[in-house]
Amino acid sequence: MILCLVTYWGRMFFITAGYHRYFSHRTYRTSRAFQFVLAFGGSTAAQKGPLWWAGHHRIHHRYTDTIEDPHTPRKGFWWSHVGWILSRDTKDQPESTMKDFAKYPEIRFISKHDWIGPWSLAIACFLIGGWPGLLIGFFLSTVLLWHSTFMINSLAHVFGRRRFDTDDTSRNNALLAVLTMGEGWHNNHHRQASVCRQGLRWYEVDVTWYILALLEKLHIVWGVRRPRTAEDRIDLTEAHDEDFDPDRESAAA
Ligand SMILES: [Zn+2]
Ligand SMILES: [Zn+2]
């Protein structure tokens, strides 16, 4: 049971901090060694390799809610939740969108052999906890992790509040934010995807951000991208839900 909690939250961190905030959006910088740790850690979640995951995620941001969006809920809940991953159309790695990371041979290797991560973890769980370790610590934890991650694609564009009037259907959802260590503030995220922190107010729990802020203090990561505009900085301190005006943002940028 403890093993299950460790493998769930540990791998969730690698997915949100690694696959999402680092490989997809480059919201901070780090060493080549820690970049590899993030890639390998993320691959243990059995959600394919970093180039596949981040490549499709970049397409999601580029074409959100259109027919080009790989997991738009417009094609139905099941499609956005798991259907799109199992589909033949999304089987290949969208290499062209990931040139910045595809240049590293070790990242290409992890992406190509994306079975190594999950198998290593499964064997480790078995060695630690025997059959219960494998079944609960690896398989149950992996299934829970899948569904929490997939819910961002399916539910975070359907249920929740919209603070910012972004030109997509993204929403903020506190329950999803707790389950996914901060990824539930999806409307905040779509508004400025290059910003590392996703829970903007003090009460918007964003555990991934707390850990990354700590890693920044330890100089393991740096160049962490914070909100750029005056309006965003106000959001961090004041509690008023003003609608976002894209014209002001581009003027300030
Ligand atoms: Zn989205
Ligand atoms: Zn994103």
End-to-end CA distance of the chain: 48
Q: Quote the ligand 2 centre to 171 CA distance (angstroms).
A: 13
Q: Quote the ligand 2 centre to 58 CA distance (angstroms).
A: 7
Beta bridge partners of 29: 222
Q: Could you tell me the residue range of the domain that residue 236 belongs to?
A: 2-252
What total number of domains does the chain contain? 1
Distance between CA atoms of residues 69 and 75, nearest Å:
10
Encode the chain (253 residues) as per-residue pLDDT tens digits: 889 999 999 999 999 999 999 999 999 999 999 999 999 999 999 999 999 999 999 999 998 888 888 888 888 888 888 888 888 778 877 778 899 999 999 999 999 999 999 999 999 999 999 999 999 999 999 999 999 999 998 899 999 999 988 888 999 999 999 999 999 999 999 998 999 999 998 899 999 999 999 999 999 999 999 887 655 555 554 433 344 333 443 443 3
> Could you tell me if residue 87 is left (phi over 0), alpha (psi between -120 and 50 degrees) or otherwise beta?
beta
For the CA atoms of the chain, what is the radius of gyration? 18
Query: What is the three-class DSSP state of 222?
Result: strand
Q: How many residues does the chain have?
A: 253
Distance between CA atoms of residues 43 and 132, nearest Å:
22
Q: Quote the ligand 2 centre to 5 CA distance (angstroms).
A: 25
Residue 186 phi/psi, 5° resolution? Answer: -75, -25
Contacts of 129 (CB under 8 A, 6+ apart): 3, 136, 137
Q: Which ligand is nearest to the CA of 192?
A: 2
Q: Quote the ligand 1 centre to 185 CA distance (angstroms).
A: 10
